[in-house]
């Protein structure tokens, strides 16, 4: 089952929890641990309306879940 996570917060600076989540996701992408399609399943935005819009239009990725496997 595919899902999506949404994070909302007033401060997205590197000192915030949301900033730390965004930074960790960036490192995962850079190191090849996470695919961009899977990172895009996590919405991080300070606005409620934009998060709701993102959830309303979100579609599950159609890629293999493992990096480096055939078809991924």
Q: Per-residue pLDDT tens for 25-56?
A: 889 989 988 888 888 888 877 778 888 898 89
Other CB atoms within 10 A of residue 37 CB: 13
Q: Is 22 helix (H, G, I), strand (E, B) or coil?
A: helix
Q: Residue ranges per domain, the chain?
A: 5-57
Confidence class for position 1, pLDDT limits 50, 70, 90? very low
Q: Higher model confidence: residue 20 or residue 24?
A: 24
Cα dihedral sign for 3, 8, 14, 16? negative
How much is the pLDDT for 14?
Answer: 47
Residue 66 confidence (pLDDT) above 50: yes
Closest alpha carbon to 10 in 42, 43, 47, 55: 47
Closest alpha carbon to 61 in 15, 2, 12, 11: 2
Residue 12 confidence (pLDDT) above 60: no
Segment (H or E) for 6: strand 5-7
């Amino acid at each position: 089952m595919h899902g999506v996570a949404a994070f909302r917060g007033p401060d997205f600076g590197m000192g915030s929890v949301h900033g730390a989540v965004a930074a960790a996701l960036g490192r995962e992408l850079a190191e090849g641990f996470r695919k961009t399609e899977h990172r895009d399943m996590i919405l991080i935005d300070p606005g409620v309306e934009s998060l709701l819009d993102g959830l309303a239009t979100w579609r599950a990725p159609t890629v293999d879940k493992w990096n480096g496997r055939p078809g991924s």
